[in-house]
Amino acid sequence: MTAHNGSAMTPRERLLAAFNREPCDSVPYTPILDGYFQASLPDGDRRPAEEIQYDLTGHILVRAGVLRLNTPLWFGADARDLPSGVTQTLSRDNDDYIHTVETPVGALSWRIRLAPETPFIPWIVENRVKTVDDIKTLQYLIEHTEFEVRTRAFTRQQETVGERGVVAIIGPCSPLQGMINHEMGVERLVYMLADYPDEMNEMLDTFHAKQVEMWKAMAEVPAELCFIHDNLSSTTTSRPMYRKYDRRYVNDYADILHRAGKKLVTHWCGLLTGFAEDLAEARQDGISDVTPEPTGDMDIVEARKSWAQHFVVMGGIDPTLFASGTAAEVEEYVEGLLGAMTPDRRGFVLGSGDATPFGTPPENVKAAARAAARFPVD
């Protein structure tokens, strides 16, 4: 079977070669084309994400969820068959949705907003963990959460994608980043760690233990790659916090997957130069959607030089250029990046810095694909 661009390797073969740091006929290219980008497509293009990816890039790399929970432990979880004594409600207040979960030890309530330019991505206007009592309520929810792995949709997606790419699975973000991004916010988290260290550490350890169980179950799914979207950034996480919590958590998940012959890739899209030295002891297999200036602070060529012996590196295209540049400018930019990686481009997957922004012209996405196809990986 020939690939989308006519070369001898299929997109799937090309992607797996990159993740195994092997040579391939050209640099694979998989920007994130999620709700940000899709919301701005002409005429409301609502094709499946994999079809849009393949049309614009020649590759498919989708990240599929396989967990079903019996509690709303994180936003968007299926919460049918709630445990006894746990209820949930959803109400509307102008443009906001208010989601409340009641437990025998307390209640937690989120205020959530969907913006027109991100109709599939919820913005948390008000976090649900605000007090030390809320920490205890969240821990109760964690302890009473049961889960199962469902692979029917994943299997159908694999069949649909075939040799056009790879269907990976995505697991929950690690506990500390979950607290920062969803439950508490960074300011409240820092104060809570200082004021209530025993309660916070007990809750975080309980959450991590639950997710270890989840990753052990997900390791049985027949997927080569697994992703975790932690959004790590030195703007929200200090180096001591990373070393004490995030690195330990992610290392445990990576070890579980390695024993099953799988790879773990972390979506770290923030400012990363502050963690460069700490990553030497990290055991994940890749860092995805690495973002250059001005949105991030990591030059993708330097990132690959620093991490090539340890991780696969994905990303590199400046999102502001994607959205506001011309197709010719994007093509020239990508040629410059890949030319600077000469002669060794192994273990690199070209993609978006974080996600492809709202309003990015589809022709800009295609322009990067044309450039990547001209660079072999020896």
pLDDT tens digits, 15-60: 999 999 999 999 999 999 988 888 888 776 778 889 999 999 999 9
Mean pLDDT for the stretch of residues 168-177: 96
Q: What is the pLDDT of residue 1?
A: 32
Closest alpha carbon to 334 in 375, 280, 284: 375
| 300-307 vs 327-340: helix crossing angle, rounded to 10 | 30
pLDDT value at residue 5: 47
213-223 average pLDDT score: 98
Instruction: Summarize pLDDT for 86-95 with one digit per residue, the tens.
Output: 999 999 998 8
pTM of the model: 0.94
Residue 176, token pair as written in the block: 């500390």
Distance of alpha carbon 75 from alpha carbon 100, whole angstroms: 11
Average pLDDT over every residue of 183-197: 97
Q: Is the pLDDT of residue 2 over 60?
A: no
Among the ranges given (7-11, 269-273, 370-374), the one the predictor scored with the smallest mean pLDDT: 7-11
Strand order, beta sheet including 123-126: 87-93, 96-103, 106-113, 123-126
Q: CB–CB of 58/29 below 8 Å?
A: yes
Which residues, 6 or more positions from 139, have their beta carbon under 8 angstroms from its beta carbon? 202, 203, 206, 207
Domain ranges of the chain: 11-66+150-372, 70-145
Rg over CA atoms, the chain = 21
- Residue 306 or residue 199, greater confidence: 199
Closest among 306, 328, 329 to 318, alpha carbons compared: 329
Residues in Cβ contact with 21 at an 8 Å cutoff, skipping those fewer than 6 apart:
308, 312, 346, 347
Query: Class of 11-66+150-372 per CATH?
Result: alpha beta
Across residues 132-156, what is the average pLDDT? Answer: 97
pLDDT class of 280 with cuts at 50, 70, 90? confident
Query: What tens digit of pLDDT does each residue of 104-121 get?
Result: 999 999 999 988 777 777
**Ranges 80-84, 171-175, 263-267: which has the least confidence:** 80-84
Average model confidence (pLDDT) across the chain:
92
Q: Which two tokens stand for residue 322?
A: 């994607």
Please write the tens of the pLDDT for every residue from 8-20.
899 999 999 999 9
